[in-house]
Amino acid sequence: MQIDALTTPEEETAAARSSLYRLLADGFVYPDKACFAAIKAGRYRDDAQGICDALPYDLEPAYDGLVASGTYMDFQAEYLRLFELGTGMPPCPLFSGLFQGGRKAVMEELTRFYHFFGLSIEQGSGELPDHITTELEFMHFLTFKELMALRQGEDAVPCRRAQADFLERQLVSWLPALEERLQKLEPPTFYVALVWLTSAVTRAELDSLRQTLERTATIPLEVRA
């Protein structure tokens, strides 16, 4: 999803945020050769830095880590070792329900979130409701809805409330545990930097959204309209 001719700073920020969630989601997908080539060449790092530079908050991430070295086969094998293979479960699963406890309840809550906005898992990456790519794709969708509301002169507050609620109840609540577990497994620098950036972005996003919603709550409805 994309839109041209952004006309206000609010629209530009919403577009950058939506693009960033899409980029982060792509980073957690099982890497194909094209993905690996983009990461190794530095294009993924450059895209991330360019988008983050357009955001209204400072992240100070280690962008240099968002690159890969070695061969595609080695990179692919590391993804499998960390995130997919293991006895019972992978060493570092990418499913939020396995970090939050009560996975069935987490999956049900996530499904309700998606269905409320008319979405189904089949429309996304094909992963389960609690996979990190699915959750990031949902944030990409919500921020794009915010952008469309701004473009059409509609109230963006409901979209922002949904984003803040989802971040607080889902991504922000479990990404620090993912980051901690990954660091113990001698992962490639790309995945260290990717998880760090994703965790930092979601925390900064939640803080920014809370501040925006607090300011909006003090503005009379007739002025907002």
Domains of the chain: 9-217 (1.10.3480.10)
Q: How many CB atoms lie within 10 A of CB 40?
A: 17
> What type of residue sits at position 78?
E
pLDDT at 219: 56
pLDDT at 201: 95
pLDDT at 59: 79
pLDDT at 3: 57
Structure tokens at 32: 């194909």
Per run of 10 residues, the mean pLDDT along the chain (length 225 residues) is 71 95 96 96 96 85 86 97 87 94 90 89 70 96 95 93 96 95 95 96 95 76 47
d(CA 34, CA 100): 33
Q: How many CB atoms lie within 10 A of CB 164?
A: 20
pLDDT at 221: 45
Which residues share a beta bridge with 131? Answer: 95
Which of 179, 177, 216 lies closest to 196 in space, CA to CA? 179
- For the entire predicted model, the pTM comes to 0.91
CB 24, CB 139: distance < 8 Å: no
d(CA 80, CA 89): 12
Whole-Å CA distances, 199 to 1, 33, 56, 96, 202 = 24, 26, 17, 13, 5
Which of 25, 27, 71 lies closest to 191 in space, CA to CA? 27
